[in-house]
Structure formats: C-alpha cells, structure tokens
Amino acid sequence: MFLINALQLYDGGFVLIDPQVAETIGEASIAPAFPNDEKSGRLPPSAVTSRFLTGMQCREESFGEDAFGFFEGLGHGLEHFLSCKDVALDCIIFPGLAAGPVEAVLPGVGRGLAFCSDDAYLSRGCERVLPSEKVDGVFRAHSRSECEKAKWTIADVGIGLGGDRSDTGLGEGDDSTDADDLGLHCDTDLVGIRIDCDDGEGSDDGIVFGQARQREKSDAGQEGEKAEHDAIRFLKDTMQSIGLGRSSNPVMSRILHLVGVLALFTSLASSAEKPNILMIAIDDQNDWIGYLEGHPDVKTPHIDALAKTGTAFTNAHCQSPLCNPSRTSLMLSKRPGSTGIYGLSPWFRDVPELAELESLPQYLKRHGYRTYTAGKIYHGGYGRRPKDTEWDEIGPGATAKPFPPKPMVKSPSGHKLMDWGVFDHEDEDKGDFKIASWTVDKLDSMPKDEPFFLSCGFFLPHVPCFATQKWFDLYPVETTSLPIIKRDDRKDTPRFSWYLHWKLPEPRLEFLEDADEWLNLTRSYLACTSFVDDQVRRVMEAVDRNGLRENTIIVLWSDHGWHIGEKEITGKNTLWDDGTRVPLIFAGPGVVAGQVCGQPAELLDIYPTLAELAGLPEKSGLEGISLVPQLEDASTKRARPAITTHNAGNHGIRSENWRYIIYADGSEELYDMVNDPNEWTNLASDTKYADVLEEHRKFIPKGDLPPAPNSKHRILIYEDGKVNWEGNDVGADDPIPEITR
C-alpha cells in the first residue's frame, strides 16, 4: 500500500512526505515525480529545491523564485498542488513515487483540504489568488461553500497518513501528542492525533490529524511563544463523535481503501458522497430554447424546468462551430488551435501527438467512476470503435433514421442529410428515443456502490430534421414566426467571412425563399427541438424515480449553434452568436438553484467544472476554467471572454456586452450585443470603438497549430494571401456559391 507520513501547512505551502523519499532524497529517487519540461510550467528535477525531510529532519536547499506548478506522481497521473510564485515552502510534496494503486488510496490528493478563514479564501490553485497573493500569510484551498459546510475556521491545519514504514511516534490512544512526538524540527510546531485502523492484511496503518504553525521570531531572532494548537481539540472531538479511532473499527479500514485519506477528511466534515454525473448533449442545438429566448414560439418545458433547478448560462459559446472540433475541445478542455483539430476528420486519437491525452471520461474513470455512453458525444463513431478506451459501457449510437421513402426536399447539394419535414413514423422508431430508453434503463438499474458518469447524446435537431405530426402540431403554419433577419446583412461584413462557409451541403437563405422551404425548415427544427426536450423529460424522470437527484451533477449542453436564414445562410460554420451560442445548464450538488448567469462561458470549461464539483484532483494542462464560482454566485465575474475558433487564425471573442471577430487576413467585425443583439451593424471601422477593439484583441489566441495530419471537411487554409477551401484554391473575385442576388 502507498502510504504518506505527514502533511503540514506553512506560509502557503503543504508538506506531504512519502516514507521512501524521507529515507532517500537523492535526485534519482525524486526525478520520476517531475516531467522534465520547463516550458510546461512544471519543475524539472534540476529545479527541485526547498527543504526536504531526511530521517524526519529538515535540511536546507534553494528554491527558485519563479518555480510553480503541478508535480505528477509516477505512472498514476496523480496531481497535487505544490507551490505558487512568491509563496514560500517549508517542505515539499512527493506523491506517487511508490508502486501500487494510488487511485484506491488517495483519490482526494490534489483537491486539497479546507483551509479557511472567516472572510477570505482562495478557491483553487494559483490562478485565483486574492490581491497580495496571500491572505493572512496563508494560501487556502477549496471554495467558501465547502469551508462553511465543514465549519472550519482554522487557517493552518494539516492532515496526513502514517503507516508501518515510518513510525510517527504517536502511540495508540495517546491524548497528549505534541510536536516532538512527530520528530519534526523544521522551526515548525506540528501536533496531531493518530487514528489506528486495520486494513485487513495485518498491517498497522493510521491517520494523523494535526496542525502546523511556523514559530514566530522576534526582531532579535529569538523564538516567540508557540501558538496554541486548538485545532487538535476540534479534531479529537470530531473523531470521537463519529466513533473512529481504533484498529478494531472495520469502518475505518473500508474508508481508507475505498475513499482515501483526503476524501476521508472531507467525509468527516460534511459526510458527502462522491456525486454521480449525468451529461446530456444535444447536437446542433442553437439558442432556440425557452430560457434562452432565441425563438418566441419554441416550447422546451423540460429543459427549462431543469434550468430552474440549477444554474443556466445565457452567454455560453462553443470553441468551434463544427461537431468534431467542438466536441474534441470539450472532452479534452483544449482549444482547436492547441490540437489542430478543425475539421470533421481526424479523430484526435489517430494523431500521434494527441493520442495519449486524457479525456473527461478517462479522467473520471481513473478517479473511481464507471463510465457509460449512448448516442453522440464525440463526432460520428469516434470513441465507440473496438480499440477505443473512452468508456466502460457503450449503448446505441446516434442515427438519423428513420428516413422517408424518398427525399422531402431537393436541396442544391443533394446531400442526403439536407432534408426536413413530417412523414408517417413513430417516435419510438427514432434513434434519439432509443438513446433515451437505454439511458433510462441504465438509471433504473445503476449499481448503488460506485459513482457513475453517464453521457447521453441526442442527434436531433441536427439535419435531417424529421419529426412526427404531434411535434409539428406545436408550431402551426399560421402562427409560427420566421427568424428575424436584415436584408443585405452581409454588406458590412468582410468577404473573408464567406470563406468560413464557402461551399457547404447546407443551403443558403436564397434557396429557402425560392423553394418556399424557409417556414418548413423553421417548423421542422422547432419540432425536433421539442421532441428532444421530451427525451430529456424521460431521462430526468428516471433520475427522480431512482432517487438520484440529490447526489447527481447534471450538465446539459449543445456543441454549437445553427443558422436558419440569419446572415443569409443555414447551418453552422460561423463566428456570430447564431453559430456559437449554446444552452449550458448545471444542476445538482454544489450548484445554486434558480440562477441565470450572463457571464461568458465556454464548453471547454465543463471538464474542470465537473472535476471540481466532484471533489477530484485538479487536472493540469486543461485550458478551461472552472465555472464553480458562477455556480455558487451567478454574478461572479469571469476572467476572460468566450472564444470560438473556426480554422487557424479565425476567432470570435464574446464578452459580456460585445462580440469581436478577427479573420485570418486581419479583417475584423465588432458588435454591440446590448443594443444590437442580432449583429446587424459592424462597428469595427468606427474610431469611437478603438478602445473596445483593443480590449478584445488582447484575447486573440496566439500560435494556432496548422490542421492536424489527415484533416478534411470544412478545412480553410490561408497562406501568403491565398485562400484554400477544402483543398481548392479560391480567387479574390470568385463568385460566392449559391448567391445570385
């Protein structure tokens, strides 16, 4: 078993001492803990400095002033916060060096403990340090709500696990433990209590709870009085009150093996279980959802009901307005420009440089979740192939079936999917109904002894937009509104904006009007949206029927928007709100109900948000930022806008009140989203808005990768002033396809 000897907090640092490291501090023994990559922001072995414990004593080393980051445990991907810039360390952490199933013992490492004060805290990691970077000389982990739940007000409490390899000196039942009992003499006083337990294999393991305080020194360098160790009294009382503390108690052994010592600490304070996670994805769903008010006639009562039980985002945006790059970005929490995934191909696992990235389901699986999926989560069949390792259990895939006997619409492209309307079939025949049924069956039979991550991806309202008559009846021909458009809306947009959707299967508005299909497509899309809303109802009823609501995090999202005539087109592949704005809802434990948040949010924020809500270690390398601060208080400001990329060099930047677009040739657009929510007036050339432009230019992504090998479908390349769309050069004077007037 992998055991850790002690943990303490001092002036912003933790200490977690692996007994093996305590015996041997040589560089060879610690090198595996540090990825040798200075550019990653992590410390290579040569930069490993600070103080180390050797034989339970400290020795002085130097510590680089700019060193900060995450150290990863060997072979386990175990991550734990070590230090922040300008924050001193007393001792350093070495998790993960020993062999063995670390996940089974320490799933909570990296999340940290609840270090709180009455009025100041740091929610997570280095990036959220409050002004002056330290509060009361202490770096605090966890959010305010967790601290309050734990009723923890001591700012510097340590927790550690002691085992048979390194005796802590704490005797069984010893009620008079002091710093000397631990043998720690690093100008620090540490007190704690040891709780013995039986792991069922004859070893004598235990938990040490305690507090560490740096000894204050006077101007003359004399040691001051030792601080009171009142935390220990609280911890003892807590342990006694729940009946833990003797090796004869089998509960302690189970908790140690299945939950881990840090998760145990959380359970002592809040008695919380690891939450389940239900993820509901909807394909090509724009803002035609009731709570988003994207269409005046839309009826989505069940999605709206879910929104009221949690926090609903009204300014959430995809990272790419296309299925494969958007979903890849979400599941990896990396921007398209960081992976080179811009088109419908390739699958990122087929790119050698990306193949080993840990996706959201893999991360959750590593931390004790059983993972299930049905429908469309990744694009197409990606993640569902026999060689793929994304999921434990895979249900039915997404499908557009059933199709009518013959096409209902003759679109210019003739593509089989460019079809919509109503024909004689049953809801039960549809792929999304079967996906919901599989999901419901899983919820009805889900094991109660392990947390689950269940993802359910609906295909509609992606084209072909076929629905049964009862859903069309919700949107009568006589009263259904067409999308609001402005004629000649593209006159003040750069020509380069057309290159992002130069030639596509999706038809232009011109075709819809000439063929009298605009209202038919509008009704079809609305009908499919309401049908999917009803599948959400079925899934949520199963959640409630099985008593899962209180301990299940629910997140609902769409991969991008969809135009139905706006900007003279249909489909996605744009950087305007109609192409990027999506529903995003979180509900469940850790989420304040009844909130609506207008702050910019990104789909790549889902990964770190779920990790934090689930109480899991912070995952390094993610580009998203947790939305937990907004889930706790919807008025909390975001540090950055939402950014959407469609091929290298083309970016849409959506802040709270503005949309800024820059294309690969340098042409720009700017819209006042408060006074011009339809994006009809491009203000980029108006000198009055120079400051607004400069503020948004700061967020333009730098260093977009070129398309990954074997990229195809919707690939736009701009090099040396030349435009290439899907392998074909486009001349500066070439007519725009399917636009004749």
Which of the residues are catalytic?
A: 323, 379
Strands (DSSP E) found in 609-737: 642-645, 651-654, 658-662, 668-672, 716-719, 722-725, 728-730
Return the structure tokens found at 288: 């035609």
Regarding beta strands 420-422 and 465-467, do their DSSP bridges make them parallel or antiparallel, or are they unpaired?
parallel
| CA 430-527-321 angle, 5° bins | 85
- Comparing C-alpha atoms, which of 411, 426, 508, 419 is closest to residue 465? 419
Return the structure tokens found at 120: 């100041």
How deeply is 55 buried, as exposed, middle or buried, from its count of CB atoms within 10 A (0-12, 13-18, 19+)? exposed
Return the structure tokens found at 633: 């208080």
Return phi, psi of residue 466, to 5°. -100, 135
User: How many residues in the chain?
Assistant: 741
Secondary structure (DSSP) of 36-54: S-GGGTS--GGG--S-EEE
Peptide bond into 296 cis (omega under 30): no
Helix H or strand E segment including 105: helix 102-105
- Amino acid, res. 473: D
Give dist(CA 494, CA 686) in Å, integer.
Answer: 15
| CA 617-192-95 angle, 5° bins | 30
Spatial contact of 55 and 22, defined as CB atoms under 8 Å apart: yes
Spatial contact of 649 and 664, defined as CB atoms under 8 Å apart: yes
- Comparing C-alpha atoms, which of 84, 110, 123, 108 is closest to residue 630? 123
| 3-state secondary structure (DSSP) of residue 540 | helix
Cβ partners under 8 Å of residue 649, min gap 6: 662, 663, 664, 704, 718
Return the structure tokens found at 650: 């083309």
Tokens 């490993």: give the residue. Answer: 48
Return phi, psi of residue 380, to 5°. 55, -135
| 3-state secondary structure (DSSP) of residue 233 | helix
Regarding beta strands 69-72 and 79-83, do their DSSP bridges make them parallel or antiparallel, or are they unpaired?
antiparallel
Annotate 481-501 with three-state secondary structure.
CCCCCCCCHHHHCCCHHHHCC
Give dist(CA 631, CA 504) in Å, integer.
Answer: 38
The Cα-based distances of 418 to 308, 425, 617 in angstroms read: 35, 19, 44
| CA 270-272-273 angle, 5° bins | 160
Sign of CA dihedral 388, 390, 393, 394: negative
Regarding beta strands 581-587 and 595-597, do their DSSP bridges make them parallel or antiparallel, or are they unpaired?
unpaired
Distance linking the first and last C-alpha atoms of the chain: 73
Return phi, psi of residue 529, to 5°. -60, -45
What is the CA 198 to chain-centroid distance, rounded?
37
Give dist(CA 552, CA 539) in Å, integer.
Answer: 13
| 3-state secondary structure (DSSP) of residue 421 | strand
- Comparing C-alpha atoms, which of 692, 690, 663, 443 is closest to residue 544? 443
Give dist(CA 51, CA 187) in Å, integer.
Answer: 12
| 3-state secondary structure (DSSP) of residue 205 | strand
Tokens 């139905």: give the residue. Answer: 564
What is the CA 279 to chain-centroid distance, rounded?
12
